[in-house]
Amino acid sequence: MKLISLSGPCGSGKTTLIEILKPNYDFVNSIYKNSDGAQLDPTLYISKMDYVKKWFDEVCVHHNNGKFLIVSDRSPFDSLAYLKVGQSKFKQLLNNNFSKLKHLGIDHYPILITAEKEILRRRIQERHVSGTSSVIEYEQELNLLEKSLLFFEETTRINTLIIDTSNETPLESYLKLRNYVNQISKSIT
């Protein structure tokens, strides 16, 4: 099975690309909610751990159901980018879980969706003004922007594709992503 995951800082265009891709692909849909369905604080360590466990579990469910290609709108690397404490322990946990996926025959293709800092900041502000993010989410996204950008810059080597959406329309970014996904899916047969 091939697993494609999108990572990147807030405002990079991940959700926009996912909405365009959704009709054509199977998805991992893990979100920051507990077993009762209550929204979790995505900045808390325990929330990150819960999310990551659900993410890996869902990938394995898709694999066990015979899926050949799935796409994830987030990646555990996003969680790692935002953690302040326990980062090395969390990174080891991720590496162990990715090793388990590899052992199951699941190939992971991490893709970084990014943009220039000022463009990210503007997009985050536009989301807030349009009402698609709460005041708390808005403030957290702005506060974490510098650290997440630094993390993604330091870890670019793990990505199999980097799409900079700074000067592209969503359609242009989607076409790059779709072409790459099509190349990966052709290698299945």
Write the pLDDT tens digit of every residue in 11-39: 999 989 988 988 888 888 655 455 455 55
- For the segment 115-135, what is each residue's pLDDT rounded down to a tens digit? 999 999 999 998 888 877 677
Question: In sequence order, which residues have a C-beta less than 8 Å from that of residue 24 and are 6 or more positions away?
Answer: none
CA distance 13 to 123: 9
Where in the chain are the domains? 2-186
pTM, entire model: 0.74
Contact 187, 4 (CB under 8 A): no
Contact 2, 184 (CB under 8 A): yes
Q: Position of tokens 């494609």? A: 4
Question: In sequence order, which residues have a C-beta less than 8 Å from that of residue 96 and are 6 or more positions away?
Answer: none
Pairing of strands 26-28, 69-72: parallel
Q: Considering only the top CATH level, what class is 2-186?
A: alpha beta
